Amino acid sequence: MQFLLDNALTLFITLLSGYMLFWSFFGNRILGIKEADTVRAMQLINRSNALVLDVREQGEYDGGHIINSLLIPAPQLKERIGELEKYRTRPIVVVCRSGARATHITSWLGKQGFKETYLLNGGVKAWQKASLPLEK
């Protein structure tokens, strides 16, 4: 017991680090978010006619975006959800700069009844790193 008291801070940091590591690997699966790396995203786009939904701001989008993507900035999505109705039966790949904003949007779309939504792991940064094309 004395050991626990003497090392409480170290034990707390260890447990917290373990939790964070666990969540980084399994958090999206627990939340029901399907992930797609760049290869899987390309397959969805080319084989299943997936919509690429870009949730970045206009300036980010203008700097370079995935070809044929639809821009709806994250703060506007709730009021513009109607624009996605015609894509309800198609896969949707949600993308932002790095994946943080897109994670929340992918989860929210699933709750709105969009069954086949995917988070692009790493976002546009991963797309660029894989040397895939962007248009301006």
Task: Summarize pLDDT for 29-38 with one digit per residue, the tens.
Answer: 666 689 999 9
**pLDDT attached to residue 90:** 95
103, with CB counted inside 10 A (0-12, 13-18, 19+), is buried
Question: Tell me, what's the pLDDT at 25?
Answer: 62
Q: List, for the chain, all residue ranges whose pLDDT scores fall below the cut of 70.
A: 19, 22-32
